[in-house]
Amino acid sequence: MGSGIVSNLIKMGHTVTVWNRTAEKCDLFIQEGARLGRTPAEVVSTCDITFACVSDPKAAKDLVLGPSGVLQGIRPGKCYVDMSTVDADTVTELAQVIVSRGGRFLEAPVSGNQQLSNDGMLVILAAGDRGLYEDCSSCFQAMGKTSFFLGEVGNAAKMMLIVNMVQGSFMATIAEGLTLAQVTGQSQQTLLDILNQGQLASIFLDQKCQNILQGNFKPDFYLKYIQKDLRLAIALGDSVNHPTPMAAAANEVYKRAKALDQSDNDMSAVYRAYIH
C-alpha cells in the first residue's frame, strides 16, 4: 500500500505494525513511524485491526493458514481486513476460518493503481462484517476517496473481478486499436487525439495510450495481475454458466503477452502481444 496511507494513519493517531515477506519493503513505512512485525501472527496479536493485501488466492490462503500465519494470532474480537483481489470462494473460506475462531472479517479489495494508492484516492469495495466496515471508516478515508459496502462476504470479490474484467478487456481493445492504426499507416497520436475528443475520453484511455506511445510500461497495474483477474472473472462466469467471450478473448491476448515476458510490466504492455 502507498506510503501516504501509513503516514495518514499515523497522523490520525493509530499505532501501525507492518510485515512483508520481503522485509525491506517495510523500510519506508518504518521511517514514517510504523513498527515492524516479525510474523503475520504477531501482527494480528498486537493489533486490533489487521489489513492485508497480497497478490492472488494462493498467497491470501498461505498468509492466513500457513505457519506463523494470521490464524495463529486470531482471538475473539480480532479484526482481519483482506484487501487482496481474489475469488469469492477463497475469501469466503478465509472468512469462515477466522469467524470460527471468534474473529471478525471484512473483505475490502481496492480499485486503482499505484499512483492513486499513494494519493489516497483508491475506490474500496467492502463486504462482510458491517460493524467492522464502520470501524474502518477513518482508515478507509485515509486510503481512498470512496468506499462501497456490498453485503455478504464474497460480493466485493465478485464486484472487483467484474470491474477489473471490464478494465482488462478494454485495455486489450485499446492496444488492438493502436496497433491496427500503426499497421494501416495511421498516426497513433492522431487516433488518441480523436478518441480524446469523443465520448470515450477517460483518464484510463489517455494514460494507457500515453504509456504505449511513449513505450513506457513501468508497472502501475501489473500485467500478470490483470491477467489473473481476467482468469478469475472468467471462472466466476463459469460458476454461473454465463458466457464472457470478450474476457475470454482478452485473456488469450494477455497470455501471449506473458509468454513475451511482459508479466512484470504494466497491463498496457499487452500492446506487445499485438506487435510480435
Report, in Å, the least distance between residue 65 CB and its own copies.
15
Measure the CA–CA gap between 94 and 195, rounded to whole angstroms.
43
The least CB distance from residue 144 to its own copies, in Å, is: 9
Kindly give, in sequence order, each residue whose CB lies less than 8 Å from that of residue 97, ignoring residues fewer than 6 positions away. Answer: 64, 65, 71
* Choice between 3 and 179, CB closer to its own copies: 179
Residues contacting residue 1 through CB under 8 Å, at least 6 positions apart:
51, 53, 83, 117, 143
Nearest to its own copies of 14, 145 (CB atom): 145
- Read off the DSSP letter of residue 173: H
Name the residue nearer to its own copies (CB basis): 77 or 183.
183
Is the Cβ of residue 48 or residue 238 nearer to its own copies in the bound state?
A: 238
Torsion angle (degrees, nearest 10) of CA 92, 93, 99, 104 = -50
| Amino acid code (one letter) for 98 | I
Joined together, the cell numbers standing for residue 250 give 482478452
Cβ at position 43, least distance to its own copies in Å? 29
C-alpha atoms less than 13 angstroms from C-alpha of 189 in its C-beta half-sphere? 2
Decide whether 123 or 213 has the Cβ nearer to its own copies. Answer: 123
**Residue 262 is placed in which grid cell?**
511482459
Closest distance to its own copies from the beta carbon of 22 (Å): 24
Q: Which is nearer to its own copies, 65 or 246 (CB)?
A: 246
Using the structure block, give the residue that is written with the C-alpha cell 495481475. Answer: 225
Distance in Å, CB of 119 to its own copies, minimum: 12
Nearer to its own copies, 3 or 167 (CB): 167
Beta bridge partners of 52: 82
Closest contact distance (angstroms) between CB of 269 and its own copies is 14
Residue 25's CB is within 10 A of a number of other CB atoms, namely: 11
Tell me if residue 24 falls in helix, strand or coil.
helix
Question: What is the three-class DSSP state of 82?
Answer: strand
| Min dist. Cβ of residue 124 to its own copies (A) | 10
Question: What is the residue whose three cell numbers read 504477531?
Answer: 42
